[in-house]
Amino acid sequence: MTDRPRDPEAMMRRLERMQAEAESMLAKFNELSEQLGADAVEVRSEDGRIRVKLDAEGKVAEIGIDEQAMRMRQSLAPTIMALVQEATATHALKMAQMAQSLVGDKIDVMGLAARDMPDGMRDRARDNLDR
């Protein structure tokens, strides 16, 4: 059994505080979702001829290839694969950015998300977020 006194009014105040905190967190999440997560992630090849778009859930929604890029068949598949990886990394950092805003400085969410990414990929993903 517990040794704490059972004060119903104190328990009710604590529950009301917890509910207010949860509602505040949900409102902040919805606001951040609209700002950061509602739109898709899109990346382009350096020459701009190939693009990959992920939806808000991080799934490939679109791959765009212009006519000139279609002629470069040997490099097409590796370029698309690299762009899908870059888009996925960008989406991961975008979601980490949103989570970081929710938890504040309690946990380094951005650091956790970026630590296992290769340096070049992490840099390109961060550049994509800044666009």
Q: Against a cut of 0.85, is the pTM above it? A: no
Helices and strands, number each (H, E), in the chain:
5, 3
108 confidence band (pLDDT: 50, 70, 90): very high
Q: Is CATH 3.30.1310.10 correct for 39-130?
A: yes
pLDDT tens per residue, range 6-26? 788 888 899 999 999 888 878
